[in-house]
Structure formats: C-alpha cells, structure tokens
Amino acid sequence: MKSFPARASIPLLTFLLWGGPVSAGGLSTPGQGARALSMAGAYTAVADDGSAVFYNPAGVSQIDGTTIEGGVAVVAPQLRYRPPGGATEESTKGAVAPALFITRRLTDRFSAGIGLYAPYARDAAFANDLANGFPSQRSKIVRTDLGAVVSYRTSDTFSIGGGLIVGYSELDRSIAVPTGPGSYLRINDNMDGVGVGGIVGVLWKISDRLKAGATYRTEMSIDHKGDRIIVGAGTSNARAKVRYPASFALGIAFTPSYDLTLALDADWTGWSSMDQVTTRTAAGSTTTPLNARDTWAIRIGGEYRLPAGWAVRAGYAYSQGAFPSTTIIPAQPDANGQEIGFGIGKTTGAWSFDLAYHYALTPETTASANINGYNGKYNIDQHLVGLTATYRF
C-alpha cells in the first residue's frame, strides 16, 4: 500500500466536518429558476418572474396579478482528485434543488412575494480506494431558505424591495482517518441549525429600453448543533458556526427591440467571512484557517422571443474561486470557473414552461502546498438541468 499523508490532524477534521460551501464548481447552486439559469444568472435587472424574490425583490413590482412558480434543478457534479503518482479518485454524487415562488400585486404601489429554495445543495462522496491509500470521505451541505419580501413602486420608473430570509442548514460529514498500516478510524458529524438574514434590492427603469438593478444579501450566521460519532468509540455533542457570505449584485438589462433582451451582471460575494471556522466538541474547541477571499463574477445573458409564445435563451459567466489550493480537499474543491447556459421557454394562456441546461467547468488546479496533505491535481465540472412551470391569474 502506498504511504498515506498525515491527514488525521485536527485542522483537517474540523474542515471536513464543518461543511462549508465553496463557490465556483463547489457546493453552492448556480441560481434559481430555469429562465435565469439559462441566462447564466444575468438576472438582477431582468427579475420579472417569481424568482425575483431571490434575484431582486424590487422586481416583484413588475409582476401583475398573482403568480405561482414551481421548479426543480438536478445538479450532477464531477469532482476528480489525483495525488502525485497516484490513481484518480472521483465523486459523481448529485443533488436535487427544488424551488417555489409566489408573488402577488397588492395595490398599484405594493407587491409581495415568498420563496422556498435551496441556495446550497451538494453531496460529494469519495469511496474507499485503500489499494491506493485513499480512505473514503463525504461532504454534504444543504441550506434551504424561506424568503418573504415586499416591493414598493415609488414611481413609474423606480422600485425598491426587501425582506427577511430564514435559512435551515444541514451538514453531514464523514472521514476515515488512518491510525496505522491498513487501520482507519471513521468519524461522522451530523449537524443542523437555523439562521436569519435579509435582502434588499432596487430597480430603475432608465428608459423604455434600459433598466438597472442592484441587490444586497446580508451575511447569515448559523450555529449548527448535532452529534459527532467516532465509530467504535461513542457519540458526543458537536457544534460549529458557519458564516454564510454576504453578496452584492449589480445589473443592467437592455431591450433593443421587443423580441430581444440582453443582460449584464457583476456579482460580489464576501467569502472572507469564512476565513476560519471553529468546531466545538466535548474534547474542546479548534479553529481552522481556510484563507477564503472575496470573489467577483461577470454574467452575460440574452433572451429572444419567437412567435407562438416560444423563447430561446443563452448566457455565459466567469466566476472566481474563493478558497486557495492550500486549503481545499477532494470533497470540497474550488477554483476559478466558467459557466454556460442554454434554455427554451413556452407560454400558452396562463401557463409558462421553461427548460434550462447549465454547465460549469474549471480548469485543472494543482495543489502543491496543501496544509491538509492533499497535494495533486483537481478537476471540477458540473451539469445542471432545470425545469420551471408558472401559472398566472
């Protein structure tokens, strides 16, 4: 058996069992709603359907009557890790992220919306490959948000909106730690918690053909509590606080003709809130440096409306990775990435149906000074298929 790096360190265990998300190609979902996904998330200044609850609450003021929008995104990532001189290990475990949005115009000025969606949904699992010195590891995080927003149209050209977000986060982590030649100790963490954040947005109709929008989402701190199970040695209480990052998005939407909409977004995410994380158990507390950095993403999207209620869409995005190669691990990699989206839509009567395909790819990343001992090559790509149905009345 090949020698196995010293991965039983407390910092590594803290990192693995913490469950923090990563950005490009990592554990966060790329957006909400098939229409926005097919435009690579360039949607801050468009935001004229139910997913405005997520993208820009001021956009809810653009929606007449009452709408109910439901959908699902099937996420299929491929995470590959190859240590120096070793065999390639791979995780292809997927996730399903449902979403539901309801909006209603209350008066000529006021509108409201509510949404249930999963901004983080991923389950990465690497199987045992003991012949090559690689014990199994799993890194799962699912955060489900309930958001309620109100939008106020101050004039025919300007709207402001905002509201509260309640997030429920579930973490499920496991790792096999080497304790000797051919001997491993398995540690499992299962924790969950609830946190509260906020969102605010503005939308400005500069002219009949040009709109600008901005959205700010606050940091959400969630104190996770649960159990740490050391197989064969018992169970103890575990606790870890995760500071989900704040974000800011600025976008414009240009409609050169009735049939065509072009959109451009610039998104900032404050991943440095995850610069370190502390885990507490009965044995004491430990703090792990993650060296996370704030990131930017640029998104470009377009929609072309065809006869008979059909529409085609496409988009492209480039996003920075938040975590350096010195702190990533196979089950939680990160890197700069590119995204491509395509989609179609059909409106018939009070119904609209949208289908999206979204692909995210990062170039091969090499880790040579990894503090957890996971040097080597990392590859990430992700396929996503989203379907949304909307009813207006």
CB atoms within 10 A of CB 338: 16
- Residue ranges in the chain whose pLDDT is less than 50: 1-27
CB atoms within 10 A of CB 194: 12
Question: Tokens for 325?
Answer: 């190669």
Q: What is the pTM of this model?
A: 0.89
Nearest alpha carbon to residue 378 among 362, 364, 368: 364
CB atoms within 10 A of CB 276: 13
What pLDDT score does 13 carry?
A: 44
3-class secondary structure, 307: helix
What pLDDT score does 247 carry?
A: 95
Nearest alpha carbon to residue 332 among 87, 120, 16, 88: 16
What pLDDT score does 64 carry?
A: 95
What pLDDT score does 22 carry?
A: 38
What pLDDT score does 136 carry?
A: 85
What pLDDT score does 299 carry?
A: 97
What pLDDT score does 121 carry?
A: 79
What pLDDT score does 27 carry?
A: 45
What pLDDT score does 288 carry?
A: 72
Q: Which domains does the chain have, with CATH numbers?
A: 10-392 (2.40.160.60)
Question: Tokens for 21?
Answer: 């998300």
